[in-house]
Amino acid sequence: MFLETTLPNGLKIIGEHNPEALSVAMGFLARAGSRDEPLELNGVSHFLEHMLFKGSETLSAQQINHQFDALGANYNAFTSEEVTVYHAAVLKEHAPDLQHLLTELLKPAFRKEDFEMEKNVILEEIQMYQDDPISRLFDAAREQFWGSHPLGRNVLGSLESVGNLQVEAMQQHFHAFYAPNNLIFAVTGAFDWNQVVSQLAQETAEWTPSQVERAHPDFQPVFSEKRLKEKQLNRTSMALMAPGLAATNPNRIAMNVLVEVLGGDNSRLHWALVHPGLADEASLSHVDGDGIGYLEGFLSASPRKAKKALEVFHQVLQEARSQGITETELARARNKLALQSALRFETPYNRLFHLGLEFLYTERYLSTEEAVQAILNVTLPEVQALLDQGMFERFSLTLQGP
């Protein structure tokens, strides 16, 4: 059963009730990510995610974490380019206590000493990712492909932007983007809907709405080649990027099935590149987002085989457009993705993410059965229409290696 209401302060509450469940999952979704940051504040959304676990005016960081543990909660948070999510799951009898604790997270104290301590943690995290070759590759690839578009910014920020960040600027960003009308509270599993709504209404009564607008600047993809010469590596890695489909595009599910055929496990790219030993990795994926999406390819090969591997990568995609894909390939990809969705969405905790993110992007409710059926309903003409659009013909290319 799907439930929905909006509090007077603009906070949207959505729920999927399953009285047979033994657990309940809930969380806040903020429509705030790295694409919403001014360049000088790059990384503030991810930093904020850390700071919300550092305590409120009434609870310290240690008390918050101990209370989560006392409930036996599975809990965490994540930040992306477009959304920050605070989520947890407990046995159903602990639902009111978990809800209170999650709401308390969104009342951060912003203590100066906590801010400076956590800044050092994040600076270390940035350096750790800079030591990882694949992270360096995709940071460079996204920056090149997106150009000045805010989606090209690193979610973690840079050593400079995070190092210069002041707590006052973070507080201003928090109040601007964590307004109740820019949040969704989602709950799945076994819960009392009236209790959820009344408790949230009481505990967020002082939250005030504000004008929150996400910028959607024009985007012109940069189709060019960039080389990262790193002599210490013994592999050539390649990141390829191209425009894709937005989360609200009716063809996005067909696109997901298509890229599974082309670049998933046991795909055309696998059999053309990995199976014969031309590459040790070859993949293609699709990411849909707010008003825009993108294709992301990856190749890893020995330096002497890299050029040939890249040629075969493009050849596989060109042949798919000119010759199409078979009904057998389509059925295999549909069945695989449908099963993955069924397995992933059957528990309240996993349903939380699908319910919340689907609603955040599309303002639609999609049950597990509907999500699975939508995949199984994808047809060959739908997939061919995507191939005919020429979306797989031009890619931005970033190479890394000796």
**DSSP letters of 274-288?**
ITTTS-SEEEEEEEE
Q: Do residues 341 and 355 touch, judged by C-beta distance below 8 A?
A: no
Domain coordinates of the chain in residue numbers? 2-203, 225-401
Four-residue CA torsion sign, 46, 49, 53, 55: positive
28 close to 86: Cβ distance less than 8 angstroms:
yes
| Integer Cα distance of 70 and 382 in angstroms | 50
> Per CATH, the architecture of 2-203 is what?
2-Layer Sandwich (3.30)
The CATH class for the domain spanning 225-401 reads alpha beta
Backbone phi and psi for residue 113, each to the nearest 5 degrees, phi listed first: -65, -35
Determine the Cα–Cα distance for residues 312 and 320; give it in Å rounded to an integer. 12
Residue 346 has pLDDT above 90, yes or no: no
How does pLDDT run across 194-241, given as a tens digit for each residue?
A: 999 999 999 999 999 999 989 899 999 889 999 999 999 999 999 999
pLDDT, one tens digit per residue, over 270-328 is 999 999 999 999 999 999 999 999 999 999 999 999 999 999 999 999 999 999 999 99
CB 126 within 8 A of CB 74: no
**What is the C-alpha to C-alpha distance for residues 324 and 317, in angstroms, rounded to an integer?**
10
Nearest-5° Cα angle at 150, 236 to 230: 20
**Is the Cβ–Cβ distance between 162 and 122 less than 8 Å?**
yes
Query: pTM of the entire structure?
Result: 0.94
Rounded to whole angstroms, what are the CA distances from 359 to 34, 306, 339?
A: 20, 42, 22
Residue 317 to residue 323: CA distance in whole angstroms: 10
Task: Tell whether the model's pLDDT for residue 345 goes beyond 90.
Answer: no
AA letter at 296:
E
**Residue-averaged pLDDT of the chain:** 96
| Helix 368-376, helix 252-263: angle, nearest 10 | 60
Amino acid 344: pLDDT: 84
Contacts of 93 (CB under 8 A, 6+ apart): none
pLDDT tens-place string over residues 354-364: 999 999 999 99
